[in-house]
Amino acid sequence: MEQKIRKAIDEAIAEVLAGTGEEIYLVEAAIRGGGRKIELAVDTDRGISIDLCAKLSRRIRERLESDEEFEPLAGGDFDLMVSSPGIGEPIRVSRQYRRHLGRLFKVVYLDSEEERQEVAGRLLEAVIEGDEPGIILEPVTSAKKKKKAEVPPITLRLADIVKAEVQIEL
């Protein structure tokens, strides 16, 4: 059942894309209780609006309620939540980096000795295709520390990143 639901989600995303031109992509999907609870995080390269989330939610619901394959879900006896990934949530899909260019990140990565390192920095560039997908961060230091010599930008391979989170700036 879960694979059928995922296929219906992909088809609904393709329909909304065709109708709006917005390149929606799935960031995360949680399907529980045999499809009775469906939670989706979706995004676009420019950020997703509430209206677009609602449109996608309606399209998915229509597909699930009207198709005989989903008979257990007929009549709307399921919960469906379509939302955007929240600030402070870890990056789950490499495509998300594009949307956050210029923002402050906290990144945990493995160095050349496979040791965990952490860096805070502003995302300058994100190359998510090709042989060596990666990001370039401009490290930032705490305002409490005295100003030291400038630290050059850091290039990290996506394969080495353990966790990356957009930070809220005040």
Give the model's pLDDT for residue 149: 58
**C-alpha span between 13 and 140 (Å, rounded):** 38
Confidence band, pLDDT 50/70/90 cuts, at residue 156: very high
The pLDDT tens digits for 99-154 are 899 999 999 999 999 999 999 999 999 998 888 999 999 999 766 555 555 789 99
- Judge whether residue 42 has pLDDT over 80: yes
* Long-range CB contacts (within 8 A, 24+) of 65-69: 67/8, 69/4
For the domain with range 96-166, which CATH number is right: 1.10.575, 3.40.50, 2.30.30, 3.10.450? Answer: 2.30.30
Give the model's pLDDT for residue 148: 55
- Lookup result for tokens 């353990």: 162
- Judge whether residue 21 has pLDDT over 90: no
As assigned by CATH, the class of the 2-83 domain is alpha beta
Where in the chain are the domains?
2-83, 96-166
